[in-house]
Structure formats: structure tokens, C-alpha cells
């Protein structure tokens, strides 16, 4: 399995509190992604990174920020959590950034289940 | 923008039955297409892919053919097993962002 560790795996918190999720990889891959998974929506891209300190928004980025200060870590922060951000969050990594041209598919972590009360 | 539509689940089949999960897409250009599988409590794993029209992706007995004329990428398996029970996601690659756009997922339940 690809070396991806998400932490924490489960978290329950209250509305209005800040939350940071961590994705750590040991593969030295350039691209990292944060998705959220919700019933009826599949996975939706929140933010992604194409290098250290290089990040861009996905389709559901409102209310989220990210940081990548070193290759192996990609942090997702909810500055002031809301109940609508209750979800399962997945990190993914990719060596080349394009699944089409690479024999290495986009690898996913095991997810973080976040509940905001 | 790009989008992927999958058939609603759950799909419940008996062991050794034939499986089809429908997937259609909307995209500009010529995206690459994928099927991912998610087993309970785990992340997603790439099942198969096709990168151009008429390509057939296959893996573990599953197949899907990239049909440009119908913008479809239906997943098929001739004989399902209980171990195939999972959620299946169809996806396309947005080459601009180098990220994936997923369908909503289809849960497959295979009974002995």
C-alpha cells in the first residue's frame, strides 16, 4: 500500500471551533489532494497541491484552507467548523499529477471521519 | 463543468450473477475515465482505467469500454462474488487541474 497516513482517523468537535486534519506521505509524490465524501455526492475536491507552498482550490473550497510547507505533509484546516462540514475526508497523492500518463494511480488514504455538533 | 452520472444503488445480486453499473459523463475535450472501488472502512482503490475512445480497461474480471459516441463507461463483470461487495465510483480526469471528478457511487451487495 502507498504510504499515506491521515490523522486523526475520527474526530468529534463543536460548531465554531478550528479543526486541522493532517495527511502525511512517505512516497515523495509531488501532488496531494483533499476530497470530502458525502452521501449522494461521491468525492468532491476541496483543495490540491502541486508542490511545496503551491496550492489551488477545488470545487468545494469555501470554509477550508490548506498548507504544504514540506513535501510529505498536507494540512487541511477548517477555521470555524460548521455542521455542513461533517463528512469523511480523504487525502490522495499522485506522482505525476495525471493518472492517464502514469502507471501509478492516484493513491488514497483511509479517511478521517469528522463530526461537527 | 465536468460531471459524472452513475446509476443509483444499492445493486443487490446473487453470487455468479452478471453485473452492469452504468456510468455516463459530460466533459470538454477527451478525458480519461476510471472506475474506483471502496471497501468498507477503506480508501478508494483504482480498479481500471481507459484513456481514449474504444479503449477497454480490465482488472480482476471487471471490464469497461470507453464509448465516446454515447459518452459512457459502463462497468461489467460476468460472475460476481461475495467479495465484490463494495461501493464503485466512476470518475474522469480533469487534465487542467489534474484531479478527479467522481460520480456519486453505486453500492453493490452480493449475496451467497
pLDDT digits over A8-38, tens only? 999 999 999 999 999 999 989 888 999 999 9
Q: What pLDDT band is residue A39 in, cutting at 50, 70 and 90?
A: confident
Q: What pLDDT band is residue A103 in, cutting at 50, 70 and 90?
A: very low
Residues of chain B with pLDDT under 70: 95-98
Written as nine digits, the cell of B88 is 464503485
Q: Is B66 helix (H, G, I), strand (E, B) or coil?
A: coil
Cβ contact, residue pair B102, A58, below 8 Å:
no
* Closest to B38 (Cα-Cα) out of B107, B96, B112, B111: B107
**Contacts with B104 from chain A: Cβ below 8 Å:** 40-42
Min Cα–Cα distance to chain B from A98, Å: 5
Min Cα–Cα distance to chain B from A99, Å: 8
> Which one of A41, A59, A111 has the shortest CB-CB distance to B43?
A111
What's the mean per-residue pLDDT of chain B? 92
- Return d(Cα A28, Cα A5) in angstroms, integer: 13
Burial class (CB in 10 A: 0-12, 13-18, 19+), A11: middle
Answer whether A93's CB lies under 8 Å from A39's CB.
no
Query: With pLDDT > 70 as the criterion, what percentage of chain A qualifies?
Result: 90
DSSP state of A75: E
What's the mean per-residue pLDDT of chain A? 90
> Which one of A48, A56, A100 has the shortest CB-CB distance to B93?
A100
> Which one of A43, A99, A107 has the shortest CB-CB distance to B32?
A99
The whole-number average pLDDT for the span A56-63 is 93
Q: How far is CA A10 from CA A13, A45, A113, B57, in A?
A: 10, 20, 5, 35
Residue of B nearest to A31 (CA): B98
Output the pLDDT for position B31.
86
Amino acid at each position: 500500500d502507498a504510504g499515506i497516513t491521515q490523522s486523526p482517523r475520527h474526530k468529534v468537535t463543536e460548531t465554531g471551533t478550528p479543526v486541522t486534519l493532517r495527511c502525511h506521505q512517505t512516497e515523495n509524490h509531488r501532488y496531494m489532494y483533499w476530497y470530502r465524501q458525502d452521501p449522494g455526492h461521491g468525492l468532491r475536491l476541496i483543495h490540491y497541491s502541486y508542490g511545496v507552498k503551491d496550492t489551488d482550490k477545488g470545487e468545494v473550497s469555501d470554509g477550508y484552507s490548506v498548507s504544504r510547507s514540506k513535501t510529505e505533509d498536507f494540512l487541511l484546516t477548517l477555521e470555524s467548523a460548521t455542521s455542513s462540514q461533517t463528512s469523511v475526508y480523504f487525502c490522495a497523492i499522485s506522482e505525476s499529477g495525471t493518472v492517464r500518463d502514469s502507471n501509478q494511480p492516484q493513491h488514497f488514504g483511509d479517511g478521517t471521519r469528522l463530526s461537527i455538533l | 463543468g465536468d460531471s459524472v452520472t452513475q446509476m443509483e444503488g444499492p445493486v443487490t445480486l446473487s453470487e455468479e450473477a452478471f453485473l452492469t453499473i452504468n456510468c455516463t459523463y459530460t466533459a470538454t475535450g477527451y478525458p480519461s475515465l476510471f472506475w474506483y472501488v471502496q471497501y468498507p472502512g477503506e480508501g478508494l482503490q483504482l480498479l481500471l482505467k481507459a484513456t481514449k475512445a474504444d479503449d477497454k480497461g480490465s482488472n480482476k474480471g471487471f471490464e469497461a469500454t470507453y464509448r465516446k459516441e454515447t459518452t459512457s463507461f459502463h462497468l461489467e463483470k460476468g460472475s460476481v462474488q461475495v467479495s465484490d461487495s463494495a461501493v464503485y465510483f466512476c470518475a474522469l480526469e480533469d487534465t487542467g487541474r489534474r484531479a478527479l471528478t467522481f460520480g456519486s457511487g453505486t453500492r453493490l451487495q452480493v449475496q451467497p
